[in-house]
Amino acid sequence: MKKLIFILITFILLFLVLALFEGVLRLAGYGRDYPLFIQKGSTLVTNPDFARKYFSDADISIPELIEQKIPLKKGNGVPRIVALGGSTTAGFPYEVNINFPWFLKTRLQREWPGKKVEMINLGISAVNSFTVADMTDEVIALEPDAVLIYMGHNEFYGALGPASTQAIGSNRALIRLTLWLREWRLYQLLQNGLRLFSPAEQGKSKASLMSQMIGRAQLLPGDPLYRTTLDNFSANLSEILSTLKEAGIHVIISPLVSNLRDQYPLGHTPLMEEKENRERYEQARAAWQADSTAAALNRLSPLLKLKPVPAEAAWLAAKIYDRLGQWPQAESYYRLARDNDPMPFRAPSAINRIIDSLAGRFGVPLTDTGERFRRQAREHIPGNDLFLEHLHPNQRGYALIARSFEQRLSFLKDAGATGTDTLSLKSYLAEQPFTLFDMRIGEMKVESLLEGFPFNGRTVFTGTPSTPLVDSLVRRHIYHKLFWDGAHFELGDYYKQNNRYDEALAEYEAVYYNDPTNPSALYRIGDIYLLKKEFDRAAEWYRRALEVTPGKAYLYAKLGRTLMIAEKTDEALKALETVIQLEKQKKTLKDDDRKTLYYLLGVGYARQGKYRRAEAAANMSLSIDRKFYPPFALKQKIKRLKKISGKK
């Protein structure tokens, strides 16, 4: 009994010592917390360090959440929608405005004019269901009206995936315990100490995140670890769905899609290393390349009877049937090639079966994403017409995912469905505020990705025709830290200077729709409407800019000039006189702007018959630039008007 008491006291003392040490570390400010959001006043901002919790390797390129700001308190009548998942949800390889949550938000805004929609995109590259399950409680705290889930491609190679470099075993309980421990400062101290004695891998940080995540290059369906991974995904997804449903939150989940037709298997099947199998495959491939399909199928037939069928053989069989125009057989073999890929970056069919089963069990609506991709794809086999590489959609593919989710959101609307499906895909995309610049960001990243492991140049990609200016700005943005909005402005300014007003407007609107409070976007849009002689619309955008940044003299000057041209003299003078008052407090305008300002004041006063004030304003303009002709002409006009009216 005494021994038991001694052991108990020892454990209590040890716990107290550890708790004391933990408290000291926290008081000293050591380590970090990993909240999903950081509160800044009445606003929540996504935490750029959130994903660090799920990566144990300090040298890896740790991904970040998309920067977003949302109100701390949910607004009345404002639908709040949260999107969860990995890189596809985040919109990789694009940025900001080409992803399915963004497309869905802009579409809903058009469907509900005058109604605000909050779309919170919590997709993070290279994470899997362990991360999503871990963030669920914080998602519930946001009080979303709906949660959208597109998740499952990263179960093997995402953070904590058993085949990844970030693996900590495959036991689900151990992984969950480790995530809990990573919140403790003592654990962080131990982890940082161990890193001091672990030499960094040379050149690792220069590789793509995808290649950095590959720890095990072969993982076949028959492997026990493969089955465990599927079981973990099922358990995690069950937990996510049950937790959200218990909180009374509407959940919508999508099956996964990937590139079937144009993605060669990424891994290498061990069976294909056997000499006889390799020779048969090479002979079949040579026959196929020689357009001798019958001979190719004959040589390939024994390989298609192996268990499991090598992914390479299934892929070649698919290509043969594709050439023969036997597309159902081709699709079947393309799917088999994906499912048996020894490097399962593309989620196998088993993942979709789990999603389908659990959606049914929890009564969660399942989107028709897969069917939409089949209908839109050439011969109903998704390939490079909808994907950029192995699994990330192009803009057309992201639009299809957005539309599939939208059709399940009718419960948020006052009446019925949206009617989105009456739009062609081309028309749907035409409504989205992105430009060639945004497309080329993603495409240029893909071009770089495909050069490295595990693609090694085997995946063919053809980008969108572009221009030297656009591609130059894209490179400056990706490699030299040119801001995304700054690049759009630079491109828009170029178009404006070359009288390509609609193209300039598209660049400015891309920034505006991403951040409606960006004053530079607001006044630039106003500038375009002014050049197009749409004065009322120009004035509206200048007023919006002033609402965001009140007290800016240059904005009042733009507004006053526009209103004067539109012959709204009283409103124009009020704006221009405000400029004069602001300039008395602090001079911000250049002389060219000031001389024009006084000239316009003179024009306004002359229209009102206030000739002395008009002359004084004209003289002020001339005092700035004696060679400026308009005030000379104004003074001559005033003389004539005074003579006609008899006023002095």
- CATH classification of the domain holding 235: 3.40.50.1110
- Give the Cα separation of 244 and 239 in Å (integer): 9
Taking only the tens place, the pLDDT of each residue in 471-506 is 999 999 999 999 999 999 999 999 999 999 999 999
State how far the Cα of 121 lies from the Cα of 105, in Å rounded to an integer: 10
Residue ranges of the chain whose pLDDT lies below 70: 1-4, 6-7, 11, 13-26, 29, 57-59, 195, 198-206, 413-421, 646-648
| Same domain membership, residue 288 and residue 171 | no
Are 105 and 248 in the same domain? yes
Asked if 601 contacts 576 with a C-beta cutoff of 8 angstroms, the reply is yes
Distance, CA of 232 to CA of 399 (rounded, Å): 30
Q: 611-624 and 591-607 are packed helices; what angle lies between their axes, rounded to 10 degrees?
A: 170
Sheet of 118-121, strand order = 118-121, 80-85, 146-150, 250-253
- pLDDT recorded at residue 203: 46
Tell whether 354 and 390 lie within a shared domain. yes
Among 124, 89, 353, 338, which residue's Cα sits nearest to residue 237? 353
Residue 220's Cβ-side half-sphere holds a number of Cα atoms within 13 Å equal to 11
Q: How many CB atoms lie within 10 A of CB 601?
A: 25
Statement to judge: residues 85 and 164 lie in one domain: yes
The pTM assigned to this predicted structure is 0.91
**Given CA atoms 188, 189, 194, 199 in this order, what sign does their dihedral have?**
positive
Residue 93 contacts residue 449 (beta carbons within 8 Å):
yes
CB 471 within 8 A of CB 360: no
Q: Is residue 392 part of a domain?
A: yes
The answer to whether residues 90 and 180 belong to one domain is yes
Residues 241, 366, single domain; the answer is: yes
pLDDT at position 58, please?
Answer: 60
pLDDT confidence of residue 59: 64
Distance of alpha carbon 542 from alpha carbon 527, whole angstroms: 9
- For residue 139, the enclosing domain spans 79-187+213-260+346-433
**How many domains is the chain partitioned into structurally?**
3
Residue 417 confidence (pLDDT): 42
The answer to whether position 129 is within a domain reads: yes
Same domain, 439 and 424: no
Answer yes or no: is 586 within a domain.
no
What are the CA-CA distances from residue 290 to residues 281, 284, 459, 462 (Å)? 14, 10, 21, 25
Query: Are residues 412 and 458 located together in one domain of the fold?
Result: no
Task: Centre a 10 Å sphere on the Cβ of residue 83 and count the other Cβ atoms it contains.
Answer: 26
Query: CA-to-CA distance for 389 and 379, rounded, in angstroms?
Result: 19
Q: Is residue 102 part of a domain?
A: yes
Does 136 reside within a domain?
Answer: yes
* pLDDT at residue number 4: 67
Question: Do 456 and 359 have their domain in common?
Answer: no
Whether residue 318 lies inside any domain: the answer is yes
* 532, part of any domain: no
Residue 142 domain flag: yes
Do residues 244 and 392 share a domain?
yes
Q: Return d(Cα 386, Cα 397) in angstroms, integer.
A: 5
Q: Last residue of some domain: 414, 433, 452? A: 433
Alpha-carbon distance values, 463 to 88, 235, 393, 440, 471 (Å) = 19, 40, 13, 8, 11
Question: What one-character DSSP code corresponds to residue 551?
Answer: T
**Predicted pLDDT at 23:** 66
- Burial level of 189, CB count in 10 A (0-12/13-18/19+)? middle
Domain boundary among 388, 416, 433: 433
Domain boundary pick from 370, 399, 433: 433
For residues 307 and 230, membership in a common domain is answered with no
Contacts (Cβ under 8 Å, ≥6 apart) of 14 = none
Q: Are residues 502 and 445 in the same domain?
A: yes
